[in-house]
Structure 1
Amino acid sequence: MTAGAGRVPVVLLHGLTDSSACWPTVRHRYDRDGRVVVALDARGHGGVPLPDEPFTIAALAQDAARALRALGTGPALVVGHSMGGVTAEELALTAPELVAALVLEDPAWHDGWVIGAVDDADVVGLAGDGAGTAGASGAAGTAGARGTAADGSRGKPAWLGASIAALAGRTVEQVAARGRIENPTWSPEEVRGWAEAKTGLDPRLADVPHDWAAREWVEALADVRVPVTLLTAEPGRGVVSPRQAERAAELLGRAPEGLLTHVPVPGAGHSIRREAPEAYLAALDAAVAAADARAARG
């Protein structure tokens, strides 16, 4: 696979319960200029088989590395949301030759055994008894998840099983209809991709053991050697806390002298690119332009 002349490939890694269908806005922006854009599906998502083994960030990064080596992308700008954010970080640590830069959208940095916030609990409450979770943009849903411990295995959100059960038998159209109600500011394309992802989950994803805590993700940034753009939500509405963002800046140094560009997005929740697309795309454009410029300098 050959990238457009002078254009660094862009690799997209989705969050838990999302899929490669969840990047329409980003893909439309970069597909048209001849740039290679690759959206990968994690195991158990988007129809990809789920092995009978623990669901770990290390395994997700290994899967991504195999896919990118097979595609021959070379060093890429790796963009990750939530679970995809920590997968991208793990990829930069274990396969640095594949990563030119990172863009982390509210990555799933944890505190102890608890997922730091709602993660990808934007699986809306489709069950009549409220078995699902609140929409990602709801502050109440975020606050509830922030205090919810993993359900017996390291890092698995307690909401996951009920959310997947609530999706059973639902069509894309049914999920999309509820998604438009729960997330009225999202574009139709984003709602459709989100709904396609929810109906393509392997239901066993909630049954296998999870391990999201093999690294202390913020501290692990000390070993990252590429530029990082960190997009964070309104405090209290996303995963990454102000304390974590400040620690990331201490470890990486702030651009331009250091490696970290922190882009807080006021008013946005966990799904920043869906809730604040202009701010998100401006940050992504800057990261892409910088990666292209570094590649041109060799």
Structure 2
Amino acid sequence: MRNRTGHIAWQLFGEKPRILLLHGMSDSAACWDPLIPFFTSYGGVVATDARGHGGSGLPEEPLAEAVLAADAAMVLDELDAGPVVAIGHSMGAATAAHLGRIRPDLVSAAVLEDPPTSGRQQHPGGHPAPDWLADLRTLDPQATVDRGRADNPAWPADELPPWARSKHEMDLEFFGRLSQASPPLVDVLGAVSCPVLLLHGDPDRGGIVTAEVAAECEREAGGSLTVRHIDGVGHNIHREARDRYKTVVGEFLA
């Protein structure tokens, strides 16, 4: 059952959270469902829907990852939780890094799965919704699952229904609000003092983080940064290599 704090919907698993889960763009908190048993073995978990995603609303204000981080902080403050391990994928990974920067009292450590690296210039008009997402939304739910299975044959079957549902739940105006500037990942990590695990795959398979950027982040990080390359996968490491993801993240959480 989804709870709500302000405009943000969230789900709590177990007792007072030790882990915060932050999903990628166009996903939702439900996309973490296949991994909830793994995460709850380390303590309570809260998973949030980013604004404009899942069951969350979309306030009329410009967006950047720091705004999404403030949303996550609002939920943690409501729960009187923290510090937590902030675990994110893609946009959620950038949100986790920004949360560690703006609210270090709430973050004991962070796991960043293939976050955006280059930052973003201020763009008053926002951005258009990507064509691939608009195309998926023309399909019915089962056809969306079928498309996901065809495009991502290595994904476990339980990943596909929440992934497909999230595409139809998202408010496409989110992209039009994504207009504030954001700094490069290396600058954000330079201002984060907690331990960080940075996971990345292969750029030639769709991964964002390159070995060169990972090395630069390792040099400039303000806290202790561990970089782990997961070979043979792209951007969706937890979906393409679930067992290896659980092993690496489990070692970090332990």
With the shorter chain as reference, the TM-score category is: 0.7 to 0.9
**2:191 matched residue in structure 1:** 223
Q: 1:205 aligns with which of 146, 170, 174?
A: 174
Q: 1:19 aligns with which of 21, 24, 28?
A: 28
Tell me how far 1:276 sits from its aligned partner: 1.0
Normalized per residue, the structure richer in strand is: 2
Note the alpha carbon deviations across 1:70-105, whole angstroms, 9 max, x for none: 112221111011111111011001111110100000
Amino acid at match of 1:18: D
Query: Is residue 2:215 matched to residue 1:250?
Result: no
Aligned partner of residue 21 in structure 2, secondary structure: strand
d(CA) in 1 for partners of 2:251 and 2:225? 13
Change (3 A) 1:72 1:171: farther
Amino acid at match of 1:233: G
Q: 2:114 aligns with which of 71, 91, 106?
A: 106
TM-score by length of 1: 0.74
d(CA) in 2 for partners of 1:266 and 1:162? 28
Tell me how far 1:156 sits from its aligned partner: 6.2
Tell me how far 1:153 sits from its aligned partner: 2.6
Tell me how far 1:286 sits from its aligned partner: 1.1
Aligned length: 242
**1:143 matched residue in structure 2:** none
**1:121 matched residue in structure 2:** none
* Unaligned stretches of 5+ residues in structure 2: 1-11
Q: 1:81 aligns with which of 89, 92, 98?
A: 89
Aligned residues with identical type, % of pairs: 37
Aligned partner of residue 97 in structure 1, secondary structure: helix
Q: 2:200 aligns with which of 225, 232, 235?
A: 232
Tell me how far 1:220 sits from its aligned partner: 2.4
Q: Which has the larger radius of gyration?
A: 1
Tell me how far 1:169 sits from its aligned partner: 4.8
**2:250 matched residue in structure 1:** 285
**1:173 matched residue in structure 2:** 142
Q: 1:29 aligns with which of 30, 34, 38?
A: 38
Note the alpha carbon deviations across 1:230-282, whole angstroms, 9 max, x for none: 101113331111111001111238xxxx7111110111100011001121111
Aligned partner of residue 202 in structure 1, secondary structure: coil
Over aligned residue pairs, what C-alpha RMSD do you find? 2.5
Amino acid at match of 2:154: T
**1:117 matched residue in structure 2:** none
The answer to whether the 8 A contact 2:189-2:221 is kept is yes
Aligned partner of residue 68 in structure 1, secondary structure: helix
Note the alpha carbon deviations across 1:44-94, whole angstroms, 9 max, x for none: 000211112212111101100001111122211110111111110110011
TM-score by length of 2: 0.86
Amino acid at match of 1:287: F
- Counterparts of residues 61-76 of structure 1 (less than 5 Å): 61-76=69-84
